[in-house]
Amino acid sequence: MSLDEFGLIERIRRRAGVRADVALGIGDDAALLQMPPGQQLVVTADTLNSGVHFPAETPPADIGWKALAVNLSDLAAMGAAPAWCTLSLSLPEASPTWVDAFADGFFELADLHDMALIGGDTTRGPLSISITAMGHVPTGEALRRDGAQPGDDVWVTGVPGEAGVALALWQQQRLEVSGPASDAALEHLRCRLARPTPRLAAGWALRGLATAAIDISDGLLADLGHICERSQVAAEVLEDELPMSQMAAQAGEAALFRTLRASAGDDYELCFTAPASVRGQVIESMASVAVPVTRIGCIRTGSGVRRVDGEGAVLPASRRGFDHFPAEGRSTGL
């Protein structure tokens, strides 16, 4: 069975969450939203294209989760509270089965964060999901990329690099992403790629503590480099301090993980800077939201990101950022 455009929109509309600050949601020419007083609107957009941002055989529920997760991660990196989103879908065919499965993953995550879907667009074309996410933050309190100061610590949440291991294993045809893996460690790695956890509570907890923050979509060093550029500072990352993945080790992929952890993207962890004087508060605040956090380096005067080993020797720059178009093996698309 296939449905017309309005049938598809209705299938999505009936699952959209309700919020008191949505004066008018899906169904009119545009939505009407009530901003809370004293807050700034935070807006971000991200598109996922099939075969570029996710393997074509990814289950639709995972696509729905991830498309929203990457947007929520941007709100997290700003310290924003999520509120509303739009969803623009380009679909090769009007399949209700696909839309329902997509909505399962999308609304599972949206409902977790009280995010209301307030509009969108539905068109025919190659599979592509474009989301605009909106949230709010008390005026002047957003976490930005441009506040890092020499002497600040550099911190990271979670274990960046696990999604990169899953992607590498998929490219080497050693991991399928079309369904759960039978091995528990491999399944953990697959989920890091397919269903990343946006660090929203960590973002809020860092308001007033972090001097700069970014979410890791392109790789730890590349994204820390963006903080450095915007803040006009340099960063030094201590290779030996980077978190190790127990799960990659359990899967026998510790070496692969080590080669990827500084450069692989797609984990959507937060990288942030904070003055050394609030070190204890950073640890306490992350513990209060149950988010693992690791101090991995410091900010210096100058420019660029340097990786140094235990003896202080500078390591060669690794591949910068995730490559959408790898030359060999399975690519995520073309």
CB of 121 to Mg ion, least distance (A): 4
CB of 5 to ligand ADP, least distance (A): 7
Q: By C-beta, is 43 or 249 nearer to ligand ADP?
A: 43
Tokens of 301: 């005067």
Does 29 engage in binding with ligand ADP (CB under 6 A)? yes
Does 117 engage in binding with ligand ADP (CB under 6 A)? yes
CB of 128 to ligand ADP, least distance (A): 12
* Short-list 213, 61, 194, 238, CA closest to 145: 213
User: 80 contacts which partner out of Mg ion, ligand ADP, none, CB within 5 to 8 A by kind?
Assistant: none
Identity at 72, one-letter amino acid code: L
Q: Please, what is the Cα angle at 193 between 188 and 194, to 5 degrees?
A: 90
Gap between the Cα atoms of 93 and 77, Å rounded: 35
Does 82 engage in binding with ligand ADP (CB under 6 A)? no
How are beta strands 234-238 and 81-91 bridged, if at all? Answer: unpaired
Q: By C-beta, is 87 or 202 nearer to ligand ADP?
A: 87
The CB density around residue 7, as the number of other CB atoms within 10 Å, is 14
In the bound state, the residue with its beta carbon closest to Mg ion is 121
Does 311 engage in binding with ligand ADP (CB under 6 A)? no
Q: Which stretch binds Mg ion (CB under 5 A): 32-40, 119-127, 228-236, 275-283?
A: 119-127
Q: By C-beta, is 27 or 36 nearer to Mg ion?
A: 27
User: 220 contacts which partner out of ligand ADP, Mg ion, none, CB within 5 to 8 A by kind?
Assistant: none
Please report the DSSP string for 79-142 in residue order. TPEEEEEEEEEEESS--HHHHHHHHHHHHHHHHHTTPEEEEEEEEESSSEEEEEEEEEEETT--
Gap between the Cα atoms of 121 and 115, Å rounded: 18
Does 27 engage in binding with ligand ADP (CB under 6 A)? yes
User: Rule CB under 5 A: which residues touch Mg ion?
Assistant: 121
Residues near ligand ADP (CB under 6 A): 9, 12, 26-29, 87, 89, 117, 119-122
